Amino acid sequence: MKRHFVYTACYPAIAIACLAAQPALAQNEVATDEVAEANPASSDANVILVTARRRDESLQEVPVAINVLSEQIIAEKGINDVSAVASLTPALQFDTGSSPADIRPSLRGIALVEGRSNVAIIVDGIDVTGVSLNTVIGGGGAQTATALMDLERVEVVKGPQTVYFGRSAFAGAVHFISKDPEFDLGGSVELAAGDHGQRELTGHITGPIVGDVVAAKLSATYRGFDGFYQNPGDGYNLDGYVTKGIGGAVLIETGGLTAKIRGSFIDQDSGTGAGFILPREDTSLNGVNLITEEDFDESQVAISSDHRYAGNDSKTYRAVLDLEYDLGGGLTLNSLSGYNRIKSRIEFDFDKKPDNIPSGTELPGGLVNCLPDVCVGIFDFDTDLQQISSELRLAYETDGFRAMIGGYIFDENYEEIDYTRFLGARPFITSTRDNIPARPALLNTNTYSGFGALEFDVTDQLTVTGELRYNHEKIEAAAATGVNILFLTGSNEIDFRDEVTYDTWLPRVSVGYEVNADLNFYATVAKGSKPGGFNTGQVRNDLRPFGQETIWSYEIGAKGSAFSNAVTWEASAYYSDWRDVQTTTICYGSASPFGPEPECPTSGAVSINYIVNADSAEVKGAEFAASAQLTDWFSLSASYAYTDSKFEDFVARDVFPAPAGTTRQFGGNRVQLIPKHSASGTARVEAPVADALDGFASLTGSYRSKRFARFDNRVLLDDKITLDAQIGVKTDSFTGLLFVNNLLNDLTPDFSRYYGNFNPSRPNGEYITAPAQRQIGIRLIKNF
């Protein structure tokens, strides 16, 4: 028999073994007797509930590869953003580059270099995935990093998921699910403190407003961190942050209607990123530079101290209206609407050097030829992202058959105002924005979609599912491209406008076969697409458009359990055919000794990043996860991901140390930022130490193998192992623990990018993002 709608719980120790983010270890903290009452036909109290397909389903049976983080793990680990989820999820990478706005998530070998994310970031069903315009330095957008609060569960859904998660789920989705208000009065307080100035205080209160019809919840959070690194010139916290947030929700249940109304505001002030420029040792054409822990030099981490850089200051406004109406006869109508707005100020030290005063040859008119010696550059942007979306779904369910049809609209308006400047290049250029011409760039997107799904239980064991989504997407771009960013001459009026339209059909077919209650197999074929767009920097007009990416993914998998779910496992293998891959190259402008090049003849910059399409790449992968409750007090869990992601056909201009204008074939190179091997695991002991008091200790480890920093495969980041430890006590309503993150203090760099093009005095420079250091602290959780 198929078991599609179940409530869930786990053995107590298994629940906490979820620290390794194993799909078989998530839980919802529902007591066994509550499960039996809610689902009398089911004798299994250890089924894991997921909502990846917009309905409650057993993880063991859904034909999708999913990693789940439970409410307890979220609380104990303090998880509130994508980077924390990625640290516990093999095959999910989340990299931060040269600024807090340079964010690059990737999943299952599908890497992001610039522009729109390949991984959808979903909050309570709403797509809030960020975007950036490729003007000078690029990145994936700080919107993706916005902190969250009051989470019940996180689901990492792998593979193209466009029917249920929309346009951004090209490689998969990370779905953050908030707690609902409750009709019983209650709440919680979470407190954390640690070295490097970590401090956290989060509170929630919930209860009835109108009997058993209306319930509400109020949440608030404060998080602060002074950073692992300080600027030696002024003591400024380079990678610190302060986050303040408040949110609320209302739940209405009356008759066949369930309504959830959510709203939140988050004010996040992040310091400028920590790192330094490391010259490459091997500058031969085919040389490979391995960056290891020994190459990281903390004493070199510094920026100019001419003024306090803003880093990334963002304000996020978010609202969700989620309506469900039971029409009877197996029919359910759902409406999901969302509003997401993020306003940011992004400012950091462009040249990444500690010098405060430009030096070089003095030129007539008070100018300073600050290149190629020392030029104090300030990268400075205002950004404004506004997203409005609405989805309507009609679902039908009867014995052996389920169907769904729906429509979706999405309106996104994104604006960047550029104040980037170089001190000393002109007399009027100072540390402030005074007299600096504002250069706008705009990106507007409108999406209209129709979608549907049919699912048949062909037999009691065999289920076939077909899904289809149609996307109509219009993208408009505009930018001011006529300003020389070094000398700030020229016009700041918008001189580029263009638009493009995409019509795409996205099918997905899956087959599930239930051998018995403890063993399921599935196979899936799915297509994903990611729209193209425009380069809005100072590149040649014919290079501005870049094309839409597509991917076909083929996957087989199995999920199993034994001993009443005391042992669970999941395995999958997949192949992805990736076409028109959006990746980034550079063009040398007139400020570079290598330029100007024909690709950017009017650029006054040292270099310009712009997106091109590689013809094809392929990804071969396999994943395995298992957990076991070995005794009443000892549990183990582990997961492993193998990812072989390579370009097949990619002809593009080469970069340093190749001569300017050199073109070659990069087919056969590894896709950037993708490790071939990644793994995580947890060992945990938990046992009574007194009446109603348990003690516990856990050790969590994560591993990633070496990976290349760019598509040219000339810079290789060393492999890395990170260990985290926890020890504490807990009762039914209280948890207190001591944690140590990065127990071995491994300082192997996590990310680098070619930065010599911004510093002609170091044309072989590589920007190294400073890694997180060891951190010790305490966390207290009180539920009432």
Distance between CA atoms of residues 737 and 735, nearest Å: 7
* Residue 369: strand pairing partners: 361
The pLDDT of 577-597, averaged and rounded, is 84
Query: Picking from 74-83, 226-235, 290-299, 738-747, which range would have the lowest pLDDT averaged per residue?
Result: 74-83
Mean confidence (pLDDT) of the chain: 85
pLDDT above 90: percentage of residues in the chain: 55
pLDDT at 70: 82
Judge contact between 82 and 143, C-beta under 8 A: no
Between 324 and 77, the more confident residue is 324
pLDDT tier, 37 (very low <50, low <70, confident <90, very high otherwise): very low
Judge contact between 416 and 441, C-beta under 8 A: yes
The pLDDT of 451-468, averaged and rounded, is 96
Residue 515 pLDDT greater than 50, yes or no: yes
Q: Specify the pairing of strand 462-479 against strand 421-423.
A: unpaired
Distance between CA atoms of residues 359 and 1, nearest Å: 77
pLDDT above 70: percentage of residues in the chain: 87
Residue 223 pLDDT greater than 90, yes or no: yes
Distance between CA atoms of residues 755 and 276, nearest Å: 10
Residue 567 pLDDT greater than 70, yes or no: yes
pLDDT tier, 40 (very low <50, low <70, confident <90, very high otherwise): very low
Q: 12: helix, coil or strand?
A: helix
pLDDT tier, 427 (very low <50, low <70, confident <90, very high otherwise): confident
The pLDDT of 328-348, averaged and rounded, is 94
Q: Copy the structure tokens of residue 383.
A: 């950004």
pLDDT at 235: 85
Cα–Cα distances in Å, from 95 out to 89, 219, 288, 349, 447?
14, 29, 21, 19, 28
Between 151 and 359, the more confident residue is 151
Judge contact between 384 and 440, C-beta under 8 A: no
Judge contact between 91 and 22, C-beta under 8 A: no
Q: Copy the structure tokens of residue 519.
A: 């063993």
Distance between CA atoms of residues 596 and 601, nearest Å: 5
The total of other beta-carbon atoms located within 10 Å of residue 255's CB is 8
pLDDT tier, 258 (very low <50, low <70, confident <90, very high otherwise): very high
The pLDDT of 184-192, averaged and rounded, is 95
pLDDT at 358: 58
Burial class (CB in 10 A: 0-12, 13-18, 19+), 282: middle
pLDDT tier, 439 (very low <50, low <70, confident <90, very high otherwise): very high
pLDDT at 391: 96
What DSSP character marks residue 16?
H
Query: Picking from 45-54, 59-68, 190-199, 369-378, which range would have the lowest pLDDT averaged per residue?
Result: 369-378
Judge contact between 310 and 61, C-beta under 8 A: no
User: What would the pLDDT profile of 259-286 be if each residue is shown by its tens digit?
Assistant: 999 999 999 998 888 998 888 889 898 8
Residue 759 pLDDT greater than 60, yes or no: no
* Residue 624: strand pairing partners: 571, 640
Residue 237 pLDDT greater than 80, yes or no: yes
pLDDT tier, 147 (very low <50, low <70, confident <90, very high otherwise): low
Between 552 and 47, the more confident residue is 552
**Single pTM value for the model:** 0.88
Q: Copy the structure tokens of residue 267.
A: 């004010």
User: What would the pLDDT profile of 348-377 be if each residue is shown by its tens digit?
Assistant: 887 777 776 655 555 555 444 555 445 678
